[in-house]
Amino acid sequence: MFKGSFVALITPFRDGAVDETAFQEHIAWQIGQGTHGLVPIGTTGECPALEEHEQERLIALTVEVAKGRVPVIPGTGFNSTAHTIKATRAAKAAGADAALVVCPYYNKPTQEGLYQHFKAVHDAVDLPIVIYNIPGRSAVDMSNATMARLAKLPNIVGVKDATNDLTRPLKMRIEIEGEFSLMSGEDGTAIAYLAQGGDGVISVTANVAPGLCSEMHSAWQRGDFATVRRINERLMPLHDALFVETSPTPVKYAASLLGRCTPEVRQPLWELLPETREKVQRAMRGAGLLN
């Protein structure tokens, strides 16, 4: 269902408020550069620091610009099942194409708890659901067996896999019958993930290098592996630099260098250290994104 280079959209701020103009201009630029899908209000969009009305507004703004040209998959997952259902219903009402639902964080549910959480959302809202498995943030890791069980439900259509375990896509291809989108959540290993059976990536780096990221995934789909390797090598230092401090602080600073937004993040995130700013600048220049 979903494949290629999807962007985990940043949320631009100006003087503490969401900068709606910058956000929509960023989306239009992404589409113009060939990005294959849009993922607002996920981890990179600072979802936990956004008010509910801001989240709903950001989905509406994304749908408005996308105009059906590319899929819109907002983050709607919370550590409360009831809150997740409410947010997913709002996403459907706003015209989203699917919802990205994270494994409930902090609560640390069992595998059965994970299954019942996702089933409850699935049964309550008629909208395709992409599971977001990111144990480094949520403190719980969905097993392949639980995911294969969930994949039997008609509206559980894929996963954003941020485990960085490159055996998983191949094992999931073996365990899951039928169509199921395997999207990497790790830029640095996204090509290796594709080689193991993946379909694409939900990318942080695409916020500042959308053309290169989309070109790389398009080249993969047509079997042009020389181009894939060339672009991947060019982007690797940037992938690393964008995670030297907690994301999305580095990528918002990188986007500010391109004039796409201010580098503002909401607390408890904080501005980059001077040495990190220098590293991001060097990586941006090395990738050919800055003069």
The tens digit of pLDDT for each residue in 211-258 reads 999 999 999 999 999 999 999 999 999 999 999 999 999 999 999 999
pLDDT for res 1: 85
Q: Annotated active-site positions, please?
A: 132, 160
Could you give the number of structural domains in the chain? 1
Spatial distance between the Cα atoms of 40 and 47, rounded to a whole number of angstroms: 9
Tens-place pLDDT, residues 35-77: 999 999 999 999 999 999 999 999 999 999 999 999 999 999 9
pLDDT category of residue 113 using cuts at 50, 70 and 90:
very high
Tell me if the pTM is above 0.75. Answer: yes
DSSP 3-state of 196: coil
Nearest to 160 by CA among 126, 198, 188: 198
Domain that holds residue 137: 4-286
Residue 173 lies in a domain: yes
In this structure, the dihedral spanned by the alpha carbons of residues 10, 12, 16 and 17, taken in order and rounded to 10 degrees, is: -110
Residue 34 predicted with pLDDT over 90: yes
Phi-psi sector, 27: left (phi>0), alpha (psi -120 to 50), beta: alpha
Instruction: Assess if residue 179 is contained within a domain.
Output: yes
Question: Residue 132's domain is classified under what CATH number?
Answer: 3.20.20.70
**Structural domain includes residue 245:** yes
Beta strands in 140-199 (DSSP E): 156-161, 181-184
pLDDT in tens, 250-279: 999 999 999 999 999 999 999 999 999 999
pLDDT-derived band at 291, boundaries 50, 70, 90: confident
Averaged pLDDT, 175-185? 95
Does residue 291 lie within any of the structural domains?
no
Mapped onto helix, strand or coil, the DSSP state of residue 66 is helix
Asked, for residue 164, whether it belongs to a domain, the answer is: yes
C-alpha distance from residue 144 to each of 180, 187, 226 (Å) = 13, 21, 32
